[in-house]
Amino acid sequence: MNEKQRLIQEKCIDFAVRADKLRKFLNNEKKEFNKADQVDRSASAIGALYSEAIHAESEADYIHKLGIAQKEAHETIYWLKVIYRCDYIDANLYESLFADAEELYRVITAIIVSLKKRGQ
């Protein structure tokens, strides 16, 4: 794993930890379980899939796994919007989590686009 990959993986882990804390908050304070579990699962999957991609068997496999991580990041953004619009979290927390999820989405998308351009 190179330094860039390590940094991205750390961002994924940090985001997964934030999502876990969000799940605990929603469970304990808001008694919201379904949406809390959904956002935690999709947010955690981003890093797990990125980690799998780093150890892919081929460049095509790498791109495929990154594509799934990209979808999980997009799903996480969806759930954050729902949770916010249901008034389970305030604007500051929403904007912070949204910014982190969007950053991961953009980074993963940029890697995919770069690899596909290189492969053409």
Which one, of 92, 65, 78, 74, lies nearest residue 9 by Cα?
65
pLDDT digits (tens, 9 = 90+) for 11-30: 999 999 999 999 999 999 99
The tokens describing 90, both together, are 């305030």
**What's the N-to-C CA distance of the chain in angstroms?**
25
**28, burial (CB in 10 Å: exposed 0-12, middle 13-18, buried 19+):** exposed
pLDDT digits (tens, 9 = 90+) for 56-112: 999 999 999 999 999 999 999 999 999 999 999 999 999 999 999 999 999 999 999
Q: What is the pLDDT of residue 119?
A: 74
Whether the full predicted model's pTM is greater than 0.75, yes or no, is: yes
The tokens describing 43, both together, are 């947010």
Count of CB atoms within 10 A of residue 63's CB? 16
Dihedral, CA of residue 12, residue 41, residue 36 and residue 21, to nearest 10: -40
